[in-house]
Amino acid sequence: MESLYRALCGEDQECLRETRETSRFLSELDQIAKSLEVHVDKSPAQYVIESIDVERLRREAEGRGVPRQLVDYVVRRALYFRFGGGGVGGRCKNCGDPASLVVLKREDLGIYERQRTVARCVCGSEWEFEMWRCPNCGTQGRDSFDVYIYSDVYILSCKKCGYKFGMIEEKPDLHVMHFYIHILRWTLPSGDT
Ligand SMILES: [Zn+2]
Ligand SMILES: [Zn+2]
């Protein structure tokens, strides 16, 4: 985590202190997300977000004190808690967005270990995926990406469409990590490293 914090904050001590408290802060946001009333208001669409009244949810979240920049995040979490996870056509079934993180999972099957790759949306939704594949345009192969490494976090930038996403091994604080990767993707330098 520490290297990721430094990538975000540099040596800004204020930023580093706030960042370390994020885990607790995200739990508080989750409590709000779980308490939002989510109704399917419109006719069912491809993605859940298209069949609910997003503006009403945004207003409700803001009314509960969620900072404006994080309102969309809380709405997406609310959809995940209400409808669970999964993918539709390679995108998150809740948010309609391509994955922002690819997670390598090891499953212990007793005699041997199996590795599985899933795509993950910042709402918490997961679906089956492949390594070295762009969640946005589908381009495949290790050579198709510029890779930035922050200790155990890889940020991949697709050479074809420019989409950036994280790649990481599963870990207990995965969601907090994902939240940062979601933010970090947009603060990366545009050149190669
Ligand atoms: Zn989602
Ligand atoms: Zn791409």
What is the identity of the amino acid at 110?
G
Task: Write down the domain spans for the chain.
Answer: 2-187
Contacts for 58 with CB less than 8 Å, ≥ 6 apart: 71, 72, 75
Distance of CA 151 to the CA centre of its chain: 19
Say how many Å lie between the CA of residue 11 and the centre of ligand 1: 32
Say how many Å lie between the CA of residue 125 and the centre of ligand 2: 20
Give the number of whichever ligand sits closest to the CA of residue 125: 1
DSSP state for residue 21 in the 8-state scheme: T
pLDDT in tens, 124-139: 999 999 999 999 999 9
pLDDT in tens, 79-103: 999 999 999 999 999 999 999 999 9
Say how many Å lie between the CA of residue 1 and the centre of ligand 1: 23
Burial 124-154 (b: 16+ CB within 10 A, else e): bbbbebeeebbbbeebeeeebbbebebeebb
Say which residue, 192 or 144, is predicted with more confidence. Answer: 144
Torsion of CA 57, 59, 65, 71, to 10 degrees: 60
Residue in 65, 83, 79, 86 with CA at minimum distance from that of residue 36: 79
Q: Which two tokens stand for residue 187?
A: 């603060």
pTM comes to 0.86
Q: Decide the pairing of beta strands 153-158 and 91-92.
A: unpaired
Q: What average pLDDT does the chain have?
A: 89
Q: What residues does 166 pair with on adjacent strands? A: 101, 155
d(Cα 174, Cα 169) in Å, to the nearest integer?
9
Say how many Å lie between the CA of residue 131 and the centre of ligand 2: 13
d(Cα 49, Cα 173) in Å, to the nearest integer?
26
3-state SS assignment for residue 153: strand
Say how many Å lie between the CA of residue 97 and the centre of ligand 2: 13
Q: Decide the pairing of beta strands 164-169 and 101-108.
A: parallel
Say how many Å lie between the CA of residue 22 and the centre of ligand 2: 30
Percent of the chain at pLDDT exceeding 90: 62
Say how many Å lie between the CA of residue 123 and the centre of ligand 2: 21
